[in-house]
Amino acid sequence: MKGSFMSFVRKETLHIVRDPRTMMIVLLMPVIQMVLFGFAISNEVNNIDVAVVAPHPTEAVRQAVERMSSNPYFTFKGYVPGTRVDATLRSGEADAVVVFADDYDRRIGAFSRGEGGEAALQIVFDASDTNTASAGAGYLRGVLLGGMSAASAPETHLLYNPQMKSSYSFVPGIMGMIFMLICAMMTSVSIVREKETGTMEVLLVSPVRPLRIVFAKMIPYFTLSCVNLLTILLLARFVLEVPMSGNLVPIVGLSLLYLVLALAFGLFISTVAERQATALIISAMLLLMPIIMLSGLAFPIENMPGVLQALSCVVPTRWYIEAVRKLMIEGLPLAAVLKELSILAAMTLVLIVVSLRKFNDKLE
Amino acid sequence: MLRILLDKELRQFVRNPFLPKMVVMFPLMVMLVIPWVTTMDVRHINVSVVDNDRSPASRRLIRKIAASDYFTLRSVQEHYAVSLAALDAGDVDAIVELPDGFERSLSGGPSERVRISANGVNAVKGSLGMQYLLQVVNGTLSELRGERGLPPAADPVVVQNRYNPTLDYRHYMIPALMIMLLIMLCGFLPALNMVGEKETGTIEQINVTPVSRLTFTLAKLIPYWVIGLVVLMLAMLLAWLVYGLVPAGSFGAICLAAALFILTMSGIGVVAANHSATMQQTMFVMFFFVMIFVLMSGLITPVESMPEWARWITRFLPPRYFVDAMRSVYLKGSSVAELWPDYAALTLFAVLFNGWAALSYRKQA
């Protein structure tokens, strides 16, 4: 019996190895995506393009503009006439237009003496991108006034701490997303293909039990996923410089569990889908949305309405990301992620049991 | 000839137990659920206060901050360094410093200003936190000054948020969600359909018929162009009914951009299918690009926030131009003329990928 099980594993492995293109994609895709997204995706607000309207470019105005253009977060796009404010924003030439008052010097002087009066400058922001607008407006104001403002108004500073690079704040999210989608796609397709081509029937009349066939299918994919996990962890550590302080064992353990969960998810999809195309659409398209949107990858779960917070609880990626964040980025010990760990384990168990049930029902 | 083939495609589509349902349900789900997810209304901003005044006035300001829904007051310190260390460790998003003499300055003493520092690395929490804190501090300052018979502090800067005065993040995301729908439906589906003929071997049969390759490819693509436009209309209708969002610009400008983008996306799908032997290969290749499209085109995080090299890469991503055009037309009411670079880029991509699709199909004869 053992020999035939091993021959099944060999058969599946050959399937994978004979299709070098898919194997290359499966192994290289996570690497490229990890590097691209790890470095490229950030919530930082910078490179804000600013145009200026200055009817009387006095020395004080020029100094304010100079302060702004020498600031790394703003790009000075030049002076525009007051009539073109809207056009400049609409065409996307600038994200914001700063309008200096005609008698800027007099008004700003009044403010610095604490007298108040009419506003000395106006910042018109393209608020279609609300984040850039609300984050940029406060910062721009500080830079333009350059510490010179109403005597009683609060000073504001944005601190950019080199130790807190955001380059790796998305790493747990990217890991959770890549593993889930790739594993689900691989396993669901390989099982459904057997169904579609009719080879499943042939396998089932063989003396090997259906359960074993399924496990034999999983083993090579699990091995592939482990290679992916290794490369991703190495990238995270040495390329994206995630500190992973002495937490390697829990991270690996948790990730292995998550890989099994993702493979089980693929298995589950394969019991639902009758055709490869359907399996692929479910695992690549329908899963992509909830995984990106409801897992806390891009949008913090704590800010969602209650109903959606509840909904996000069924997305396994959510728990994995939370746990990896705690272990990898906050450097907490394994004890801190017991909740996430048990939820993931329970989900894995349920998925495997349900899928095998359905699988067996189909066969009889 | 094309009519007959289109008829075949339509029948196959309708007969499929899964596809028609998905084409209707997927946009509905995405448009009804996801906008509620994409709220950037930040709560639970962790604040540390450095109180060097320890006066009734400073305590009142601290109470105000603690009482707000938006803030979690983590600590009140006596030294800025302690709070800064907490910010470095990520426990605190913003620091409010109340200077010694804060209360005296309210009653005509030498002016001492409140300092607000925020973590700018996490732009969302840090910068928004600063905005909210500024409002609370200014509000409290005005109250305190008012009680002492002083005029409220005026502000030398007026900020005007144009095109989205209420700063509703949902309005920013809805056009992006429409784009995501189009990326997926018009990319994945034609690719799968095309490679499906290959896997089942029916493509051989088509190849020996007098059907020209162009006719065959068109018959494959036209249904998805129609589906794409129908889905877009449905999504726009939902955006109006559910979220009250109507395009500020012309409907034609949106349709033109969408048509060009759908052409591009389905072209990419066919190219991927033509260069693959199996469904799995096609899907993995498509998936790779779709992920990059979704995450790097400015749909979720702004392109401006990326490093130089990543921004350079985004120039080669068709959705980047569509995202920009769609949001500008939808929210700012920009015209095609104002956005000509976007439209030119989309046209170029459409020509490029559909040309490639036609050529790569010919190679397999």
List the single range of A13-27, B220-234, B347-361 with lowest mean pLDDT: A13-27
CB contact under 8 A, B284 and A29: yes
Q: Which of A137, A189, A285 sits opposite B280 (nearest CB)?
A: A189
CB contact under 8 A, B39 and A124: no
Mean pLDDT of chain A: 81
Asked if pLDDT for residue B301 goes beyond 50, the answer is yes
**Per-range mean pLDDT, top range of A175-179, A245-249, A256-260, B6-10:** A256-260
Asked if pLDDT for residue B319 goes beyond 90, the answer is yes
Render pLDDT for B284-296 as a digit per residue (tens, 0 to 9): 888 889 888 988 8
Q: Which of B130, B141, B284 sits opposite A158 (nearest CB)?
A: B130
Cα distance between residue A182 and residue B185, in whole Å = 19
What is the three-class DSSP state of A57?
coil
Asked if pLDDT for residue B175 goes beyond 80, the answer is yes
Asked if pLDDT for residue A342 goes beyond 60, the answer is yes
Classify residue A147 as left (phi > 0), alpha (psi -120 to 50) or beta: left
Give A1 to chain B, closest Cα distance, Å: 31
A-B C-beta contacts closer than 8 Å: 338
| Chain A residues within an 8 Å CB radius of B15 | none
| Chain A residues within an 8 Å CB radius of B43 | 302-303
Give B30 to chain A, closest Cα distance, Å: 8
Q: Which of B39, B161, B283 sits opposite A133 (nearest CB)?
A: B161
Across residues B291-307, what is the average pLDDT?
85
| Chain B residues within an 8 Å CB radius of A40 | 295-296, 306-307, 310, 313
Q: What is the pLDDT of residue B244?
A: 87
Q: Which residue of A has its CA nearest to B145?
A: A152
Q: What is the pLDDT of residue A364?
A: 54
Render pLDDT for A203-220 as a digit per residue (tens, 0 to 9): 667 766 777 777 888 888
Does B328 lie at the interface with A, CB-CB under 8 angstroms?
Answer: yes
Render pLDDT for A125-143 as a digit per residue (tens, 0 to 9): 888 887 778 777 777 877 8
**Per-range mean pLDDT, top range of A101-105, A193-197, B222-226:** B222-226
Tokens of A280: 């692929």
The percentage of residues in chain B with a pLDDT greater than 70, rounded to a whole number, is: 94
Give B123 to chain A, closest Cα distance, Å: 5
Across residues B12-25, what is the average pLDDT?
84
Mean pLDDT of chain B: 84
The percentage of residues in chain B with a pLDDT greater than 90, rounded to a whole number, is: 20
Across residues A14-24, what is the average pLDDT?
80
Give A121 to chain B, closest Cα distance, Å: 5
User: Residue B294: which of B22, B34, B21 has the closest Cα?
Assistant: B34
Q: What is the pLDDT of residue B24?
A: 87
Q: What is the pLDDT of residue B121?
A: 61
Render pLDDT for B61-102 as a digit per residue (tens, 0 to 9): 888 888 888 888 888 888 888 888 888 777 888 888 888 888
Q: What is the pLDDT of residue B237?
A: 93
Give the helix ranges, DSSP H, for chain A.
2-17, 20-40, 59-69, 85-90, 104-112, 130-145, 171-197, 199-205, 210-234, 248-272, 276-280, 288-293, 306-312, 316-324, 338-363
Render pLDDT for A232-280 as a digit per residue (tens, 0 to 9): 988 888 888 777 766 788 889 999 999 999 999 998 998 888 888 888 8
Across residues B12-17, what is the average pLDDT?
82
| Chain A residues within an 8 Å CB radius of B131 | 134-135, 137-138
Q: What is the pLDDT of residue B119?
A: 77
- In this predicted model, which residue has the larger pLDDT, B70 or A153? B70
With cut-offs at 50, 70 and 90, classify the pLDDT of residue B154. low
Tokens of A289: 């949305």
The percentage of residues in chain A with a pLDDT greater than 90, rounded to a whole number, is: 10
User: Residue B121: which of B88, B147, B165 has the closest Cα?
Assistant: B88
CB contact under 8 A, A160 and B288: no
Q: Which residue of B has its CA nearest to A288?
A: B291
Q: Which of B37, B157, B313 sits opposite A119 (nearest CB)?
A: B157
Across residues A90-108, what is the average pLDDT?
86
Pick the residue of B291, B326, B327 with the most A CBs within 10 A to test the interface with A by mutation.
B291
CB contact under 8 A, B172 and A46: no
Sort strands A121-126 and A155-159 into parallel, antiparallel or unpaired.
Answer: unpaired
User: Residue A136: which of A39, A42, A47, A41 has the closest Cα?
Assistant: A47
Q: What is the pLDDT of residue B349?
A: 94
| Chain B residues within an 8 Å CB radius of A87 | 338
Q: What is the pLDDT of residue A163?
A: 44
Q: What angle (nearest 5°) sits at the alpha carbon of residue B182, between those of residues B178 and B184?
A: 120
The alpha-carbon radius of gyration of chain A (Å, integer) is 28
CB contact under 8 A, B130 and A156: yes
**Per-range mean pLDDT, top range of A79-88, A128-137, A212-221, B160-169:** A79-88
- In this predicted model, which residue has the larger pLDDT, A7 or A94? A94
With cut-offs at 50, 70 and 90, classify the pLDDT of residue A162. very low
Q: What is the pLDDT of residue B287?
A: 87
Tokens of A103: 């008698």
Give A226 to chain B, closest Cα distance, Å: 18
- In this predicted model, which residue has the larger pLDDT, A112 or B289? B289
DSSP annotation string for A133-146: HHHHHHHHHHHHHT
Pick the residue of A18, A129, A269 with the most B CBs within 10 A to test the interface with B by mutation.
A129
Q: Which of B159, B169, B290 sits opposite A125 (nearest CB)?
A: B159
What is the three-class DSSP state of A78?
strand
Q: What is the pLDDT of residue B342?
A: 92
Q: Is A277 within 8 Å of B192 (Cβ atoms)? A: yes
Pick the residue of A15, A16, A22 with the most B CBs within 10 A to test the interface with B by mutation.
A22
Q: What is the pLDDT of residue B365?
A: 42
Q: What is the pLDDT of residue B36?
A: 83
Does B300 lie at the interface with A, CB-CB under 8 angstroms?
Answer: yes
- In this predicted model, which residue has the larger pLDDT, B167 or A235? A235
Q: What is the pLDDT of residue B363?
A: 47
CB contact under 8 A, B37 and A42: no
Asked if pLDDT for residue B178 goes beyond 70, the answer is yes
Asked if pLDDT for residue A40 goes beyond 70, the answer is yes
| Chain B residues within an 8 Å CB radius of A156 | 115-118, 130, 134
- In this predicted model, which residue has the larger pLDDT, A110 or A98? A98
Helix pair B251-274, B340-362: axis angle to 10 deg: 30
- In this predicted model, which residue has the larger pLDDT, A363 or A108? A108
**Sequence-separated (6 or more) residues with CB below 8 Å from residue A218:** A187, A263, A267
